[in-house]
Structure 1
Amino acid sequence: MDSPTSYGSGAANTFAGVTPYLDTAPLQAGDTVRLIAPSEPTDEKSLQRAIAQLESWRLRVVVGDNVRARHPHVNYLAGTDEQRRHDLVDAWCDPDTSAVIALRGGFGAMRLLDGIDFALMRRHALRADGRPKLLTGSSDITALHQAWHHHLSVATLFCPMVGNDPFKNSTVVPAEVATWLFEPWGGRELGFPADTAHCTGSSAAAGRLRWSKWSEDSPGDQSKTSTQAGAITQDGATTRAGATGHAGASAAASGPLSRARTLVPGTAKGRLGGGNLSLVAAAIGSPELAGVREDRERYGPSILMLEDVDEELYRLDNLLVQLVRGGWFASADAVVLGSWQDCAQVDEVEELFMDYLGEAGIPVVSEMGFGHDPDAPSTPLGVDVTLEAPANGRPRMWVE
């Protein structure tokens, strides 16, 4: 693999066809992460809670220069485009950075893309050990995921964000995100743990144990002791306090179970892409999505995921029309749907997708949970996955 200093003209294909983090975790205790606000602003309490959460994982946190900034005229932006772009580029290009973590979503990340020197970003896409740096976030951060895939060809993590309510309110989100940061991805199943009533083997117990292992009290609640489930050792592993872990384990063990179901049966293998439906549709015609058919030739088969929040059914219909007319689904070997929080009823959303994709001849799966679900699971993008969607039985998707 290229060294960090030689990561140049051929960088676009450096990671094509390669899934990182199969045998080693993206992060380990002591790594430096950069916390930035590329979209909407946050309040000081949420910022401090986010820092405490990351530090509870034994990470070194560097906060962007303009995280507390406010746009002078637009109250939904965390600083000007120049300020937010500076923090993003500065964080990614810092040679000590292991991951760039978005504090929250909202709106504004897409405004940053045209001013970014992606040749510079490619030259700084590797850490000292030769692995790619990691970008994390969801919702509006979909715009950055798309750009990182198109321009840098690195894997990213679509996950709940440390400055948002799920990290404060959910009993499983902090632990679930930690598993994707501090454990290898190879063979990992995506979505909520399996329901034992609809599967065989120990997958449900394994999923619950994984989340239980990383359970912790909220670092933002000063009345509790903010400790990792056991302590993170220097290699990023954990040592458990006892056979059953600590008090958070019971909450994780009773966390959400898979609701996934098959709409169109089939099997597919391919590179996982997509994200928030509104952001994907808004990017149609952009450099990042102008060549979806060419991307399929470049990377091979693809599995596309979509989710959204707070959209009426007619708005979802309009967004899907944009994707269909823009040819986005032409690159899809399967489509996986996540959560539709505060949108239309799930069955209405499924019927809408079936209107467009029911006769496309590709597997379609619903209710995988990622997105804006209060307990949303994380999903890696730009990695090779396998999807099995049986006509009768729970669909499964896992990292190759």
Structure 2
Amino acid sequence: MTLLRPPALRPGDTVAVLCASSPVPSQRHLESGLRAMESVGLRPEVFGTARDTGSRYDYLAGTDAERAADLTRALSDPKYAGVFLACGGYGAQRTLELMDWSRVDASAPKVVVGYSDVTALLEAIAVKVGWVSLFGPMVACSGFWQGPGEYDFKELMKLLYTPSAVRRLTFRGSRALVPGAAEGLTLGGTATLIAANFGTDTSYPVRDGILFLEDVDELPFRLDRIFTQIRRATAYLEGLRGIILGTFTESGNPEHIDRLLAERFGDLGVPVLAGVNIGHNCEMQTYPIGVTARLDADAGTLTFLDQVLAEPHSVRG
């Protein structure tokens, strides 16, 4: 069943912008992303972690406690209709170590958007509070900061503002590694983070689920190791309904990666769709986590059987 759906956004909504992982790659890009949000009527409030340039470690946006505090405040304060991660990198799992989920009202879901390292957070949200979340573009990253005309940005905003108009994702140029169709709960994210979550209290098994995977900047043998770990995690994969494979860029010879994907995921007895435009270094569609959907590998489509977001509340807070 679809997880608890946050309400769609409306012009004038205040949203939090923060980092749960690494510092933003460029404050200039962050400012451009904030202007893009304002251009469509959102009111972004920038938290301290989005301004931190690596005060403790150059690969972490502030301390673990600061990131956990920003995230807790953003998720729990009814002032914020949504939470937008500024970038990924590394550090979300350190942030999750210090989260006190009892401070977050599970009955009051709000939109949370991010990808890459943010996969760890999206899984945690599914486990700890049971909300639908969005594997989508981030404020200081390409496809968002370049402005409201960018494909990634437009696709995200269409889903955030008019979810009733987004009932299906169509993946042109995709290919069925294993033909067929399946229904299940949309789950997954960046493969490295999915595997790194195994054995923690924020790993979300894919029973009755459609597993999405993508990654970036991993040598083929590392991808092989990650894929093999995922397929050997039988308790995690039990009840799997289907697989969607996104981008695996900056990871060596694409033909090698294609062979690896077919070898590691082609014998699991479920439909497998590869080559979808979700992930790093592509014109990216937004993938919801926690929505009941139908995958048609032959047609290259993912149809949502429930609306991704609920209709917006007439009064916030």
Confirm or deny a common fold (TM above 0.5).
Answer: yes
Q: Give the conservation status (yes or no) of the 8 Å contact 1:308–1:341.
A: yes
Taking only aligned residues, the RMSD between alpha carbons, in angstroms, comes to 1.9
Which is greater in Rg? 1
1:183-262 pair list within 5 angstroms: 183-185=162-164, 188-192=167-171, 258-262=172-176
Q: Paired residues, what number?
A: 301
How far 1:268 moved relative to its partner? Answer: 0.5
Q: Which residue of 2 aligns with 1:288?
A: 202
Q: Give, in whole Å, the separation in 2 of the partners of 1:168 and 1:116.
A: 29
Normalised by the length of structure 2, the TM-score is 0.89
Q: 1:320 offset after TM fit, Å?
A: 1.1
User: When the two structures are superposed, what TM-score results if normalisation uses the length of structure 1?
Assistant: 0.71
TM-superposition CA deviations, 1:8-43 (whole Å, max 9, x none): xxxxxxxx545637xxx6111111110111111123
CA distance in 2, matches of 1:338, 1:44: 28
Counterparts in 2 of 1:320-399, with a 5 A limit? 320-327=227-234, 328-390=236-298, 394-399=299-304
Q: CA separation in 1, counterparts of 2:238 and 2:253?
A: 27
Is the 2:20–2:49 Cα contact (8 Å) retained in structure 1?
Answer: no
1:284-323 correspondence runs (5 A):
284-289=198-203, 292=205, 296=207, 301-323=208-230
- Partner letter of residue 99 of structure 1? G
1:182 aligned onto 2:166 = no
Displacement after TM superposition at 1:331 (Å): 3.7
1:54-99 Cα deviation digits (max 9, x unpaired): 1111112111133212444410111111111111111111111110
How big is the shift at 1:191? 4.5
Q: Which amino acid aligns with 1:263?
A: L
Is the contact between residue 92 and residue 124 of structure 1 (CA under 8 Å) also seen in structure 2?
A: no
Report the 3-state secondary structure (helix = DSSP H, G, I; strand = E; otherwise coil) of the residue aligned with 1:140: helix
Q: Which residue of 2 aligns with 1:26?
A: 8
AA aligned to 1:95 is: P
Distance, in Å, in 1 between the alignment partners of 2:213 and 2:106 is 29
Identity of aligned residues (%): 32
Q: 1:168 to 1:116 in 2, by over 3 A?
A: closer
Q: Which residue of 2 aligns with 1:65?
A: 48
Structure 1 residue 374, shift from structure 2 partner: 3.0
CA distance in 1, matches of 2:271, 2:129: 28
Structure 1 residue 264 corresponds to structure 2 residue 172:
no
User: What SS is found at the alignment partner of 1:371?
Assistant: coil
Superposed, 1:63-102 pairs within 5 Å as 63-102=46-85
Choose which of 90, 97, 105 in structure 2 pairs with 1:114. Answer: 97
The 8 Å contact of residues 3 and 290 in structure 2, kept in 1 or not, is answered as no
Higher relative contact order (CA 8 A, sep 6+): 2
For the Cα contact (< 8 Å) 1:140–1:276, is it kept in 2?
yes
Is residue 35–residue 63 contact of structure 1 (8 Å, CA) maintained in 2? yes
Measured in 2, the distance between the counterparts of 1:399 and 1:346 equals 30
Residue 349 of structure 1: how far off its partner (Å): 2.1
Contact 2:174/2:276 (8 A) holds in 1: yes
Alignment of 1:50-61 (within 5 A): 50-61=33-44
**Bigger CA drift: 360-369 or 350-359?**
350-359
Give the deviation of 1:353 after TM superposition. 2.4
Structure 1 position 111, deviation (Å): 0.8
- Counterpart-to-counterpart distance in 2, 1:396 and 1:19: 23
User: Offset at 1:387?
Assistant: 0.7
Structure 1 position 274 matched with structure 2 position 188: yes
Runs of 5+ unmatched residues, structure 2: 306-317
